[in-house]
């Protein structure tokens, strides 16, 4: 039986657009965003470019995904900056790592989400969604996305 993962969410703080989260707390970023976020697969009306990853609410397929190589039964911290946000519904991380969807902060600023991966990771991918309760054409612009092993 797979052990369910755990999640802790916190937020706050500011970061300038030029600041990139390469190292934090002496730990290296475990994900590769690519040049101009080119490694992200973005569905629906969203896109990835030099400004970041933009998710746009359309009611279906409002996601951004990035392949990762996280280990089972390990604690990680997702760090991301929201540069712009007009969404009025839920923003969340899909259940790929923890076994259940995790609602994420969607206000402008830097956010940290600590989670523990489950015993078996069948789809090793960071997948972020806008829920169907978001008004069409509202959006969130994500930058400085990073995952660190442990708590930072």
Task: Note the pLDDT of residue 60.
Answer: 84
Q: Which residue has the tokens 């397929």?
A: 61
16 pLDDT band (50/70/90 cuts)?
A: very low
Mean local confidence (pLDDT), 12-37: 64
Which tens digit of pLDDT belongs to each residue from 115-138? 999 999 999 999 999 999 999 999
- Contact present, 91 and 140 (Cβ < 8 Å): yes
Task: Note the pLDDT of residue 21.
Answer: 47
Q: Which residue has the tokens 């996305």?
A: 145
Mean local confidence (pLDDT), 11-16: 42
The residue among 128, 126, 124 whose CA lies nearest residue 141 is 128
Task: Note the pLDDT of residue 61.
Answer: 82
Q: Any idea what the Cα angle at residue 51 is, between residues 143 and 147, rounded to 5°?
A: 20
Q: Give pTM, 2 decimals.
A: 0.83
Which tens digit of pLDDT belongs to each residue from 95-114? 999 999 999 999 999 999 99
Residues paired with residue 77 on neighbouring β-strands, in sequence order: 114, 148
């Amino acid at each position: 039986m797979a052990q369910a993962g755990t999640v802790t969410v916190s937020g706050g703080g500011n970061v300038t657009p030029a600041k990139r989260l390469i190292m934090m707390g002496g730990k290296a970023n475990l994900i590769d965003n690519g040049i101009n976020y080119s490694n992200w697969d973005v569905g629906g009306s969203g896109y990835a470019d030099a400004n970041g990853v933009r998710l746009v609410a359309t009611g279906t397929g409002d996601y951004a995904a990035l392949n990762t190589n996280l280990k089972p039964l390990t604690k990680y911290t997702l760090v991301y900056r929201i540069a712009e946000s007009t969404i009025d519904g839920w923003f969340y991380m899909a259940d790929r790592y923890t076994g259940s969807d995790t609602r994420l902060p969607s206000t402008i600023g830097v956010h940290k989400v600590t989670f523990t991966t489950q015993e078996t990771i069948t789809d090793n991918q960071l997948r972020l969604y806008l829920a169907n309760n978001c008004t069409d054409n509202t959006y969130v612009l994500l930058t400085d996305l990073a995952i660190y092993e442990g708590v930072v």
